Structure 1
């Protein structure tokens, strides 16, 4: 099994938790090779990463971000580091690889996910919650198969044979180097043929908060996960993905995520000195949370629809003018 992580020094310690949990819960795998895109990680943090990998007698290879060409990507407030995972098919000469975001916790075996038949399929991921205008802005018909980039099973062999990186570069050029919704916009715009994974393989924070039917209504998703699929993921998550939402994140002092205790246990067990920060919720998030908890869902939905008119205006102003 080949695993890909990517981080700068700010997220290095956060990646250690994900890495340790992945290794601990996949001891049955005969082989695990970790590829780690190194965006100027400190020597101290790199040593700690290697120490964790060595505990499980696994192999790790660091890839310097300096060798990745991002010159065709417009500089914005979204770090170019977010695109590194799309530029590795000619560097990592494996048949396939599982990319995992740093802000995750792996709680069960990845074997079934790894063994999915990816023949003639470039990429696999879990459906994300974005509005239709985000999906259509990158050429999709709707948002029903718009995947989140936090966990992706990537068919590297397919990418090389079909020169996908050139296709990605051409896609950027269509948008003058600034694709809507950053790396996710690129992935979903370039790949029409995607394998949709079960929610448990990238169990995002919204799955803990909302019912499946509520998410489908908020984001106007026609074909979405059933409540049974969400409940299965909640009971048996394989990869937990810590998005901000109402809970905050585990390295924040006010985090209230259901998996926070487990996260803290991994920090202690592997001696990861992750400083907890005072990450305050914004007023907008506090209002949304209060409305969702205190009001009937129809009222909350009306609020989200009104807010979405504003989001669309901002989105249109920033992105849609760039299309060639």
Structure 2
């Protein structure tokens, strides 16, 4: 079992400023009479299932600059992406958004589903592996106008090992230290293979998935960009490895990953390991006290997978 899960300190419906609650109720068309605050994820903002006086239900996310100065911009980016998604996408429909400059709230259709078990159960993991394949195919060609591009979005994370190699931390893994320059070159090479015409979620893990019987829903889209069709499948398998599953059997014959050069897959994983290793050593941002611990835990499991795939002694 992983040592840490994705969790943060979230606001509640009752703690939102009155003007924000009123703005959300205007979008809903009815006052909120009950709110069930949700846990999980790293945003310091609200995530709640709400019930209105007229019987309507919805899912509401809200965050403001007092909680974290960067988070409202993340919500705005998610609103832009989800508003452009086709109705057939397995994503809760965005009904509308509230934005007063400091606080941003998003109102979605409520999905009668639950997050997968953590750590992943094999049956649920297989269901979601198949669901991600269908998702990526359905979002090809990319349906969002002028999205951010993979090469631009991944440049910083794929080059993190170069920064670590320039000033190696004292607590680096010995194998990692021994191969820092090779890892830096390998990760940087991923930038040559990540482009494509698929809308990539990029943050697929158990707490960004909802299961409704055999149906799989995908939530939290602020980091989406246009890139290679196989990236989201790899992101999910990285999360499976984090939860103790052997990801390699899922690669054999995978509809999207099976035809990708194995070294390209390893290069992308190396970039992710470098990203987690570099960012996990930074101070925690406001309102997100556990994110660095989570990143370092992901670094350990992703690095172990990279080490296995490279075969470097």
Q: Give your verdict on TM over 0.5.
A: no
TM-score using structure 1 length: 0.28
